[in-house]
């Protein structure tokens, strides 16, 4: 009887990998319970900051008597500030007060503010703060809003999973990987492709690296913001093809919870400026349809 040493090695390897993921699952479960207390602390701190924001807005409105009503938690990352009486507000003051109170903490550094009309629930004013100043969306400053019943919705960018989500995700991930390793070992060979560098686009003298968020023009590196890189990536995948405004807005801003039409024009203008030294490449307007990365090389 011939002893299959190679098969033994394969079985041992799969066993070790499977055991590793079991321990990883246990570690994630422990992490879930250890994070629960911290998460509750962050939530309490956030509600205090939001009450302080509401208090400052009442003072700026000339009201030092009425109350900020209890903060309403709508979802895990979304809160609503409501007021006992009507108020007025200046967009500049709301923006600056929010940034002063919320930008110091990493948990509340990225957020979207929408001021709602109580009667219609329509958005009377809104802005988005992304941590990266160039990616902030701040329209229509300098226009004082009329007195009325307002509620302020603030949605924070999620920075991770809570305790229960980590428990479920860790357990399911470990089980899926164990099954994958045990029953489909050959598929592991293809997993190495994920380590390969992201595609770099070449347009004559221009190179675009979406992973590094860089344009290289005549061997000069030009940094792009996250939004500029996402926008350029969509164009680079379909050169000389018209891409609708609605698609660009949907793919870039919809996951942030708000779409501001003028923001697209602003980032298109920024990209054009960074490409202006290359006459054969330009982002052109296709009237009534959208935009196109025009390459004439």
Q: In the listed set 164, 196, 228, which residue is the last one of a domain according to the structure? A: 196
| Residues 223, 135: Cα–Cα separation, whole Å | 14
Q: What element of type H or E holds 213?
A: none
Q: In the listed set 137, 162, 196, which residue is the last one of a domain according to the structure? A: 196
Q: How far is CA 129 from CA 56, 98, 159, 225, in A?
A: 19, 10, 15, 14
Identify whether residues 226 and 259 lie together within a single domain.
Answer: yes
Domains contained in the chain, number: 2
Q: Is the C-alpha dihedral spanning 273, 279, 282, 284 positive or negative?
A: positive
Identify whether residues 40 and 168 lie together within a single domain.
Answer: yes
Identify whether residues 228 and 86 lie together within a single domain.
Answer: no
Does the residue 265 lie in any domain?
A: yes
Residue tagged 């246990």 (tokens): 26
For position 104, what pLDDT does the model report? 64
| Residues 123, 166: Cα–Cα separation, whole Å | 34
Does the residue 2 lie in any domain?
A: no
Residue 289 per-residue DSSP state: T
Longest dimension (CA), the chain: 93
Ranked by mean pLDDT, the top range of 99-103, 157-161, 169-173, 288-292 is: 288-292
How many of the other CB atoms lie within 10 Å of CB of 34?
11
| Residue 159: both structure tokens together | 């920075």
271-286 confidence digits (pLDDT tens): 999 998 888 899 999 9
Identify whether residues 129 and 227 lie together within a single domain.
Answer: no
Identify whether residues 112 and 45 lie together within a single domain.
Answer: yes
Does the residue 1 lie in any domain?
A: no
Does the residue 129 lie in any domain?
A: yes
The domain containing residue 273 runs over which residues? 201-295
Identify whether residues 13 and 80 lie together within a single domain.
Answer: yes
Identify whether residues 180 and 210 lie together within a single domain.
Answer: no
Does the residue 67 lie in any domain?
A: yes
Higher pLDDT, 147 or 256: 147
CA 245 to chain centre: 20
194 pLDDT tier (thresholds 50, 70, 90): very low
Write the CB contacts of 171 (distance below 8 Å, at least 6 apart in sequence).
25, 28, 29
Which region among 59-63, 182-186, 234-238 has the lowest average model confidence (pLDDT)?
A: 182-186
Q: What percent of the chain has pLDDT over 70?
A: 66
Identify whether residues 156 and 265 lie together within a single domain.
Answer: no
Identify whether residues 92 and 216 lie together within a single domain.
Answer: no
Identify whether residues 139 and 242 lie together within a single domain.
Answer: no
Instruction: Please report, for the domain that includes residue 289, its CATH number.
Output: 1.10.10.10
- β-partners of residue 201 are 208
pTM over 0.75: no
Identify whether residues 96 and 119 lie together within a single domain.
Answer: yes
Mean pLDDT of the chain: 77
Judging by DSSP bridges, how do beta strands 123-129 and 111-117 pair with one another?
antiparallel
Burial of 1 (0-12, 13-18, 19+ CB in 10 A): exposed
Identify whether residues 186 and 217 lie together within a single domain.
Answer: no
Does the residue 209 lie in any domain?
A: yes
For position 218, what pLDDT does the model report? 85
| Residues 224, 271: Cα–Cα separation, whole Å | 9
Query: Could you write out the DSSP letters of every residue in 156-187?
Result: EPP-S--HHHHHHHHHHHHHHHHHHHHH-GGG
CA 124 to chain centre: 23
CB 80 within 8 A of CB 72: yes
């Amino acid at each position: 009887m011939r002893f299959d040493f190679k098969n033994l090695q394969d079985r041992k390897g799969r066993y070790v990998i499977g055991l590793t993921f079991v321990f990883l699952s246990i570690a994630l479960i422990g992490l879930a319970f250890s994070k629960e207390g911290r998460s509750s602390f962050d939530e309490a701190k956030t509600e205090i900051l939001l009450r302080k924001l509401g208090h400052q807005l009442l003072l700026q409105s000339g009201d030092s008597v009425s109350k900020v009503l209890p903060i309403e938690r709508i979802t895990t990352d979304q809160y609503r500030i409501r007021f006992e009486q009507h108020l007025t507000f200046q967009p500049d003051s709301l923006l600056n007060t929010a940034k002063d109170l919320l930008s110091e903490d990493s948990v509340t550094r990225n957020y979207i503010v929408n001021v709602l009309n109580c009667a219609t629930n329509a958005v009377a004013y809104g802005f988005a703060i992304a941590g990266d100043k160039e990616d902030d969306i701040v329209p229509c400053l300098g226009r004082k809003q009329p007195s009325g019943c307002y509620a302020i919705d603030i949605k924070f960018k999620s920075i991770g999973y809570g305790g229960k989500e980590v428990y479920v995700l860790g357990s399911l991930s470990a089980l899926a990987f164990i099954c994958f390793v045990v029953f489909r070992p050959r598929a592991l060979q293809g997993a190495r492709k994920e380590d390969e560098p992201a595609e770099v686009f070449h347009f004559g003298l221009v190179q675009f690296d979406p992973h590094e968020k860089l344009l290289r023009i005549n061997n000069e590196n030009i940094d792009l913001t996250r939004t500029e890189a996402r926008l350029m990536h969509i164009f680079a995948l379909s050169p000389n093809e018209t891409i609708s405004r609605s698609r660009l807005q949907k793919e870039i801003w919809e996951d942030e919870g708000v779409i501001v039409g003028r923001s697209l024009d602003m980032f298109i203008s920024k990209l054009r400026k960074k490409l202006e030294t290359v006459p054969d490449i330009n982002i052109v307007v296709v009237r009534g349809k959208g935009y196109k990365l025009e390459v004439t090389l």
